[in-house]
């Protein structure tokens, strides 16, 4: 220590440290104050007091004291160490590492500092440094178990698994032969499994198998033992033994699909792409029949054959599968079958099967060829299944007629209303979908699942206030915003953000998208405490899996949605900055001085009122923290409750770039990532980066309409640039000249020719025609009418099918909506947009966007007619009124009872 | 001085939450390391041989080669600016491509 203390005070200092380590902060504070009475400038005591205060949420005081302490004693490793711990608690890891390194310069072999440094290196994935630090710790304290384990794991993470094995074996050499004692059997068993997985990872399968079998008695986790053993047997091609072991695993858990897959591999009947020859199908069928006899209660053994069987065999097996489940009334049957719809021909067979069942039950109350009477509910579940079937196939009218028939049959089944809601959503009537989801919710007010589904539908219909009120029914203390945010309820925040975005409220949209991003940042930080915890508990395999999961964390779909949404908001902010300030300035400049004064006074009053309201709102949310015990739990006040500050960002594109880089790193196989990259970098005038985005789009899907759009836009812009003048421009030009040779779409062609060959390849596709029309207009604005004509002339072919009930056409609602927006805002042809709308209103009669005749947006629709009559003939009621009512009433079944097709 | 920044007393109003909070707090409790038998440890340490010398030499040679490459400082600035990269990254890539700015950029656009 730089300034040593007398024995009494030195003991008090030790007490501070011990109190900190054991989280007895008040005791530590008392001891620190006692020392400071006599030695008020003692650096290390000031630092430790600061650190203790930091753990008591007195952060600003903490920094002040720690900095003061360090200033007073710059050569104390304790002061530097404490400063690092303070930075660490604020997640300033780089600064913390600097402090630790300074501390180590003063005391190079300090175990505590080295350990803290290693934690930060693991967190930051500085794996080389991590290995060095763990090695130093092992050298200094080689009789500590954790140091051996830490060193081995460090090498594994640093891509040196064989070295890790060597270290673990050396560690095992230090143990007694009768190790482990009873209270450490689990830890030791986990370590052994980890070592064996390292051997497997290095390809030493035989050695791994021998080691596994030798250590069987010491491994406590028997399931992991068996699974590891069977994995090694398969890799060593010991297929007979593998088969036996898979059968044993199946007897333990006959619903684990991976065991069936493994068994198929061992008997030589597994195909990665799911394609099998006729002979193989027969063998598989026989295998599963045998297994079916053994595991009568397993649903997996009955369901898996539906994946590989074809034709008549499929029909028979599907029939046998479906009937018992309809009789039992399993609502999730369609979800179970839905993956089969991706295979050619099976949807038609399923349709035929279910229609036959429906017809037979209606006429005889029996299944086709059946001998027993079916209960009345079987018809309802059959109709339920058919409704979902036709919904999946895009035949919404038929789907709605089936679900309505089911509701007429048994109006008290909640699932029927949920499915009706989903059908209406797919058909384009989001308002009616929300209404029926609310109906389902009101039938079981204690089920949060239907509550959440209802909230989501309301958000999809842009009924944000109503959704918030509904969500509050299940949040703690009725504090909806804070509770759902605190519990990291990302689906809610994403749906809300997208709703605000559609409504043009960029501030709230950004706020919610960034909330989701913050959750991912928190999840990243959550791993920190486990770097030491898992080494102690020896759950090494799971720890390494967790680290790999964390490395891929931002690949998750929710993060992608949030980041993409945030980027779109920032691009919108850049393209259309908020005009409030400039408009006000213009208004003010036209006024007389006295009027200016009045205007400013009004403005200040309005601002004061808004500020007061915001403060009251925050106060209320803070007050909510008072618990039953009477203690006040102060919550941090939200500094920007409506997202207004987010709108004031100085450089929106710079903010967007931060999230774009995360998408580029974590979602490189998503077209959307590179599409947004293109839009962003074109605006930033980063020609080379925009080009990189185009290259990525072409790599992923050169024929995608968006890839084509970006390709044409980019080279059209480059072609319109003046000849390069600066060194920078010349260099860019040289790169583009070289790269252009690698793009096959452009070989020896003008952009017009490239565009034309794109159209020739895809002239039957609406989305590709729309892309062509847009790019044609970009290349030559005078050819707008030609572009419009080509889009309007898109064919809407009937999809080939054996369906007996009506045709399915190719055009999808979402694509038609996109074309309508294109005609109205890009090509700016309002007549064409109107013609398109009328046309699509016929194709999608339930779409509120196109005001289809059966949608809740149409004044003549049954929906609104019923509302008028149910309101006792009063007029001038908007859809909004209905929405407000449904939030407070106990359902509006009557309003939809007579909804006709 | 490994410690926790989560030890502040928390207000909870249900037993489940209390137990959750306690269990989570236990994560960062101070625990003594397990000790191993000293004589066996000495033997084990001897078997861990340093093999990093060769790696270090190879890396040093590589760095020397790169440092000898002549590059245009203006090219570094252009690459760093246009591709929004750290200057060190831009410089290293340029050196790896022997100062050829076009080749370096094409590599970075991969």
In chain B, the residue whose alpha carbon lies closest to the alpha carbon of A110 is B1
- B45 and B62 fall within a common domain: yes
| B31, part of any domain | no
CA distance A488 to A100: 33
Q: What is the pLDDT along chain B (110 residues), one digit of tens a residue?
A: 344 444 444 444 567 777 777 787 777 776 766 677 677 676 677 666 555 556 667 877 778 788 888 788 888 888 998 888 888 789 888 888 888 898 999 888 86
Environment class of A553 (CB within 10 Å of its CB; exposed 0-12, middle 13-18, buried 19+): middle
| A93, part of any domain | yes
Taking only residues 61 to 100 of chain B, the set having a beta carbon closer than 8 angstroms to any beta carbon of chain A reads: 74-75, 78, 81-84
Taking only residues 122 to 161 of chain A, the set having a beta carbon closer than 8 angstroms to any beta carbon of chain B reads: 139, 141-148
- B77 and B105 fall within a common domain: yes
- B102 and B79 fall within a common domain: yes
Q: CB A696: neighbour CB atoms within 10 A?
A: 23
Nearest to A728 among B35, B40, B78 (CB): B78
On whether the CB atoms of residues A287 and A261 are closer than 8 A, the answer is no
pLDDT of residue A142: 84
A contact test, residue of B22, B51, B105 with most A CBs within 10 A: B105
Chain B residues touching A728 at Cβ < 8 A? 78, 81-82
- Structurally, chain A folds into a number of domains equal to 3
Cβ-based neighbours of A635, under 8 Å, separated by 6 or more: A482, A621, A622, A624, A625
- A37 and A138 fall within a common domain: no
Final residue of a structural domain among A183, A205, A233: A233
Would you tell me the crossing angle of helices A490-502 and A557-575 to the nearest 10 degrees? 20
- B60 and B73 fall within a common domain: no
Cβ-based neighbours of A637, under 8 Å, separated by 6 or more: A618, A621, A622
Burial annotation B55-76 (CB, 10 A radius, 16+ → b, else e): eeeeeeeeeeeeeeeebeeebb
- A100 and A192 fall within a common domain: no
CA distance A323 to A375: 12
In chain A, the residue whose alpha carbon lies closest to the alpha carbon of B47 is A170
- A143 and A99 fall within a common domain: no
A685: distance to nearest CA of chain B, Å?
A: 9
8 Å CB contact of B78 and A25: no
Nearest to B106 among A142, A175, A738 (CB): A738
pLDDT of residue A898: 43
- B73 and B90 fall within a common domain: yes
CA distance A39 to A409: 86
| B20, part of any domain | no
Burial annotation A129-164 (CB, 10 A radius, 16+ → b, else e): bbbbbbbbbbeebbbbbbbbbbbbbbbbbbebbebb
Q: Is A289 on the interface with B (CB under 8 A)?
A: no
On whether the CB atoms of residues A192 and A219 are closer than 8 A, the answer is yes
pLDDT along chain A (901 residues), means of 10: 76 90 88 90 92 89 90 89 90 88 90 90 92 89 86 92 89 81 86 94 93 90 93 93 93 92 92 86 92 88 92 92 93 94 91 93 90 89 95 90 94 95 93 94 93 94 91 74 82 94 92 91 91 89 92 92 94 80 50 60 65 57 42 59 82 92 92 94 91 92 92 89 80 84 80 88 89 92 87 80 59 91 87 90 90 78 50 34 36 43 41
Chain B residues touching A536 at Cβ < 8 A? 31
CA distance A372 to A329: 16
Q: Print the domain residue range for A146.
A: 109-158
| B91, part of any domain | yes
On whether the CB atoms of residues A42 and A35 are closer than 8 A, the answer is yes
Full DSSP string of A733-762 = HHHHHHHHTT-GGGTT--HHHHHHHHHHHT
- B100 and B80 fall within a common domain: yes
Query: ipTM surpassing 0.90, yes or no?
Result: no
The residues that bridge with A144 in the sheet, in sequence order, are B35
Q: Is B23 on the interface with A (CB under 8 A)?
A: no
- Structurally, chain B folds into a number of domains equal to 2
8 Å CB contact of B33 and A57: no
CA distance A546 to A552: 10
Taking only residues 407 to 466 of chain A, the set having a beta carbon closer than 8 angstroms to any beta carbon of chain B reads: none
| A589, part of any domain | no
Cβ-based neighbours of A173, under 8 Å, separated by 6 or more: B40, B43, B44, B47
| B104, part of any domain | yes
| B92, part of any domain | yes
CA distance A325 to A70: 72
- B85 and B99 fall within a common domain: yes
- B63 and B78 fall within a common domain: no
Q: Print the domain residue range for B47.
A: 39-68
| A20, part of any domain | yes
- A114 and A74 fall within a common domain: no
pLDDT of residue A455: 95
CA distance A590 to A592: 7
Final residue of a structural domain among A63, A90, A106: A106
Cβ-based neighbours of A370, under 8 Å, separated by 6 or more: A323, A360
CA distance A704 to A671: 9
- Local structure of A882: helix, strand or coil: helix
The residues that bridge with A809 in the sheet, in sequence order, are A798
- A66 and A26 fall within a common domain: yes
**Backbone Cα Rg of chain A:** 34
B contact test, residue of A142, A477, A625 with most B CBs within 10 A: A142
B contact test, residue of A143, A186, A658, A734 with most B CBs within 10 A: A143
| A863, part of any domain | no
- A100 and A52 fall within a common domain: yes
CA distance A681 to A724: 19
The residues that bridge with A626 in the sheet, in sequence order, are A632
What are the distances in angstroms from CA B64 to CA A361, A641, B61, B69, B75?
84, 55, 5, 9, 21
In chain A, the residue whose alpha carbon lies closest to the alpha carbon of B1 is A112
- B54 and B82 fall within a common domain: no
| A686, part of any domain | no
A contact test, residue of B38, B48, B86 with most A CBs within 10 A: B48
On whether the CB atoms of residues A241 and A232 are closer than 8 A, the answer is no
pLDDT of residue A217: 87
Full DSSP string of A180-230 = SPGGGHHHHHHHHHHHHHHHHHTT-HHHHHHHHHHTGGG---HHHHHHHHH
| B30, part of any domain | no
On whether the CB atoms of residues B73 and B44 are closer than 8 A, the answer is no
- B49 and B73 fall within a common domain: no
| A538, part of any domain | no
- A211 and A128 fall within a common domain: no
CA distance A107 to A114: 10
CA distance A417 to A403: 8
H helix runs in A472-575, sequence order? 480-486, 490-502, 506-526, 530-537, 540-551, 557-575
CA distance A712 to A753: 11
- A51 and A2 fall within a common domain: yes
Q: Is B18 on the interface with A (CB under 8 A)?
A: no
| A135, part of any domain | yes
- A102 and A113 fall within a common domain: no
Nearest to A174 among B3, B12, B37 (CB): B37
Q: Is A85 on the interface with B (CB under 8 A)?
A: yes
- A92 and A44 fall within a common domain: yes
- A114 and A79 fall within a common domain: no
| B4, part of any domain | no
Q: Is B38 on the interface with A (CB under 8 A)?
A: yes
| A151, part of any domain | yes
8 Å CB contact of A170 and B7: no
8 Å CB contact of A686 and B106: no
Cβ-based neighbours of A547, under 8 Å, separated by 6 or more: A122, A157, A527
């Amino acid at each position: 220590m730089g300034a040593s203390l007398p024995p009494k005070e030195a003991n008090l200092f030790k007490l501070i440290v011990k109190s900190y380590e054991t989280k007895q902060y008040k005791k530590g504070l008392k001891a620190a104050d006692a020392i400071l009475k006599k030695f008020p400038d003692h650096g290390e005591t000031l630092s430790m007091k600061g650190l203790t205060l930091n753990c008591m949420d007195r952060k600003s005081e903490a920094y002040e004291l720690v900095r003061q302490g360090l200033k007073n004693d710059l050569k104390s490793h304790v002061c530097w160490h404490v400063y690092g711990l303070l930075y660490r608690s604020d997640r300033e890891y780089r600064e913390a590492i600097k402090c630790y390194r300074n501390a180590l310069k003063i005391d190079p072999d300090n175990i505590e500092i080295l350990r803290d440094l290693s934690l930060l290196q693991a967190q930051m994935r500085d794996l080389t440094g991590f290995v060095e630090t763990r090695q130093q710790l092992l050298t200094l304290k080689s009789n500590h178990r954790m140091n051996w384990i830490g060193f081995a794991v460090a090498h594994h993470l640093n891509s040196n698994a064989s070295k890790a094995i060597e270290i673990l074996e050396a560690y095992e050499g230090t143990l007694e032969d009768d190790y482990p004692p009873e209270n450490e059997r689990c830890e030791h068993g986990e370590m052994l499994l980890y070592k064996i997985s390292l051997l497997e990872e290095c390809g030493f399968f035989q050695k791994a198998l021998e080691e596994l079998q030798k250590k069987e008695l010491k491994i406590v986790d028997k399931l992991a033992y068996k699974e590891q053993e069977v994995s090694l047997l398969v890799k060593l091609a010991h297929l007979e033994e593998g088969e036996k072991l898979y059968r044993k695993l199946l007897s333990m858990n006959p619903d684990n699909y991976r065991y069936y897959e493994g068994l198929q591999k061992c008997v030589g009947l597994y195909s990665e792409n799911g394609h099998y020859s006729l002979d193989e199908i027969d063998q598989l069928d026989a295998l599963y029949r045998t297994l079916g006899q053994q595991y009568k209660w397993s649903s997996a053994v009955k369901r898996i054959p539906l994946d590989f069987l074809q034709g008549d065999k499929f029909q028979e097996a599907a029939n046998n599968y479906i009937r018992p489940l309809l009789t039992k009334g399993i609502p999730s049957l369609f979800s179970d079958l839905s993956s089969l719809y991706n295979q050619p021909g099976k949807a038609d067979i399923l349709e035929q099967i279910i229609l036959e069942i429906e017809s037979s039950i209606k006429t005889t109350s029996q299944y086709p060829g059946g001998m027993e009477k079916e209960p009345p509910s079987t018809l309802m579940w059959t109709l339920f299944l058919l409704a979902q079937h036709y919904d999946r196939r895009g035949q919404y009218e038929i789907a709605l007629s089936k679900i309505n028939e089911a509701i007429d049959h048994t109006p008290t089944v909640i699932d029927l209303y949920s499915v009706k809601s989903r059908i209406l959503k797919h058909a384009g009537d989001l308002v009616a979908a929300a209404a029926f989801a609310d109906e389902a919710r009101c039938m079981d007010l204690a089920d949060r699942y239907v509550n959440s589904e209802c909230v989501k539908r309301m958000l999809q219909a842009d009924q944000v206030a109503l959704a918030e009120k509904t969500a509050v029914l299940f949040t703690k203390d009725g504090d909806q915003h804070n509770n759902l945010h605190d519990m990291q309820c990302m689906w809610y925040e994403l749906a809300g953000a997208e709703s605000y975005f559609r409504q043009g409220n960029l501030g709230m949209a950004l706020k919610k998208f960034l909330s989701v991003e913050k959750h991912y940042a928190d999840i990243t930080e959550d791993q920190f405490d486990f770097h030491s915890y898992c080494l102690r508990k020896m759950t090494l395999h799971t720890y390494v899996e967790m680290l790999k999961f964390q490395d891929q964390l931002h690949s998750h779909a929710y993060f992608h949605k949030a980041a993409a949404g945030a980027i779109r908001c920032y691009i919108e902010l850049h393209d259309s900055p908020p005009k409030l300030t400039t408009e006000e300035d213009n208004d003010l400049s036209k006024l007389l001085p006295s009027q200016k004064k009045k205007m400013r006074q009004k403005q200040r009053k309005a601002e004061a009122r808004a500020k007061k309201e915001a403060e009251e709102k925050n106060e209320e949310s803070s007050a909510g923290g008072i618990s039953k015990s009477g203690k006040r739990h102060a919550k941090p006040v939200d500094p920007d409750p409506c997202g207004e500050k987010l709108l004031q960002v100085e450089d929106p594109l710079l903010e967007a770039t931060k999230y774009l880089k995360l998408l580029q790193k974590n979602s490189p196989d998503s077209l959307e990532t590179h599409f947004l990259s293109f839009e962003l970098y074109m605006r930033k005038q980063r020609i080379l980066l925009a080009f990189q985005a185009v290259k990525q789009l072409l790599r992923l899907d050169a024929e995608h309409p968006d890839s084509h759009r970006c390709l044409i836009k980019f080279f059209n812009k480059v072609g319109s640039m003046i000849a390069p003048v600066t060194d920078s421009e010349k260099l860019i030009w040289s790169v583009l000249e070289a790269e252009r040779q690698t793009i096959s779409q452009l070989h020896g062609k003008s952009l017009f020719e490239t565009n034309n060959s794109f159209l020739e390849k895809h002239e039957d596709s609406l989305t590709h025609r729309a892309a062509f029309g847009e790019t044609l207009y970009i290349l030559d604005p005078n050819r707008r009418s030609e572009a419009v004509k080509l889009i309007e002339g898109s064919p809407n072919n009937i999809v080939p099918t054996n369906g007996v009930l009506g045709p399915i056409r190719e055009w999808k609602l979402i694509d038609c909506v996109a074309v309508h927006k294109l005609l109205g805002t890009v090509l700016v042809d309002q007549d064409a947009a109107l013609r398109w709308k009328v046309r699509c209103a016929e194709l999608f009669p339930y779409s509120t966007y196109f005001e289809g005749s059966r949608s809740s947006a149409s004044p003549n629709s049954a929906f609104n007619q019923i509302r008028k009559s149910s309101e006792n003939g009063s007029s001038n009621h908007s859809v909004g009124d209905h929405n407000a009512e449904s939030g407070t009433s106990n359902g509006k079944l009557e309003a939809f009872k007579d909804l006709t097709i | 001085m490994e410690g926790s920044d989560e030890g502040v007393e928390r207000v909870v109003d249900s037993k489940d939450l209390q137990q959750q909070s306690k269990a989570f707090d236990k994560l960062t409790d101070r625990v003594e390391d397990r000790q191993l038998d000293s004589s066996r440890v000495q033997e084990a340490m001897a078997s861990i041989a340093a093999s990093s010398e060769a790696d270090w030499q190879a890396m040093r040679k590589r760095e020397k080669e790169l440092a000898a490459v002549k590059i245009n400082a203006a090219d570094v600035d252009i690459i760093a600016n246009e591709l929004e990269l750290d200057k060190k990254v831009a410089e290293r890539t340029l050196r790896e491509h022997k100062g050829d700015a076009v080749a370096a950029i094409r590599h970075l656009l991969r």
